[in-house]
Amino acid sequence: MDFVRELTQELVEVKEWPEFGAGDTITVTYKIKEGDKERLQSFQGVVIQRKGTGATETFTIRKISNNIGVERIFPIASPFLQEITVNKRGAVRRARIFYFRERRGKSARIREKKSFAK
């Protein structure tokens, strides 16, 4: 098992991204190929979970689009990821906030984490 882990660390390049976790609102900019053209698209939403370690780590983002919940899973080591921006830090008590899927309206709000800047 260690051999496989070492091999993936050598072969897969993992970029440095900002720290974020469940409850944070982030914007992910990623590359989309349509035929022979490439363009950048943004996906902004709340992080529901981070899963895995190293090159196989993924994170799930949820947003509401036209009153329909949309979730997208991004691999952290994907070559198509261009930028991750943390917009808001959320104060949640769990690492995976699946209960967020059933929430609508005011109950779907996440408190912002207090930061003490000096």
pLDDT of residue 12: 74
pLDDT of residue 9: 75
Using the Cα atoms of residue 88, residue 104, residue 50 and residue 42 in order, give the sign of their dihedral.
negative
Query: How would you list the strands of the sheet with 25-34, edge to edge?
Result: 68-75, 58-65, 37-51, 25-34, 81-88
Q: Is the backbone of residue 99 left (phi > 0), alpha (psi -120 to 50) or beta?
A: alpha
For 107, the token pair is 């109950």
pLDDT of residue 11: 76
Task: Read off the pTM.
Answer: 0.84
Domain 25-104 has CATH 3.40.30.10: no
* Paired residues of 70 in beta bridges: 63
Please state, in angstroms and rounded to a whole number, the distance separating the CA atoms of residues 111 and 23.
Answer: 9
Task: Give domain limits for the chain.
Answer: 25-104
Per-run averaged pLDDT (10 residues), the chain, 118 residues: 76 84 95 94 96 90 93 93 94 92 89 80
